Homo-oligomer: A and B are copies of this chain.
Amino acid sequence: MKLSARNVLQGRVVEVHKGQTTAHVRLEIGPGVIVTASITNEAVDDLALKEGDTASAVVKATDVMIGK
């Protein structure tokens, strides 16, 4: 399935931290460049996410702000 989301940033999972319903997943998408995602625990299980996995951070263009 191809997505309309404009941003698909490939990287490597460096951390998966589960709470009671929400998990934080960190991806290294470049040398020292870390992206943090907040997703459901169910999604972590569904994708069997674990440290070392190749995965992508997917972000819709409308969810990206610019800072200058």
Q: Which residues of A contact B (CB under 8 A)?
A: 1-9, 17-25, 27, 29-30, 33, 35-40, 42-44, 46-49, 53-68
Structural contact, B57 and A2, CB atoms closer than 8 A: no
The docked-state distance in angstroms from the alpha carbon of A58 to that of B62 is 11
Most central of A4, A44, A54 by chain B CB within 10 Å: A4
The docked-state distance in angstroms from the alpha carbon of A20 to that of B25 is 14
Structural contact, A22 and B25, CB atoms closer than 8 A: no
A58 to chain B, nearest CB (A): 4
- Say whether, besides A1-B1, A36-B6, A57 and B66 are in contact (CB < 8 Å): yes
A37 to chain B, nearest CB (A): 4
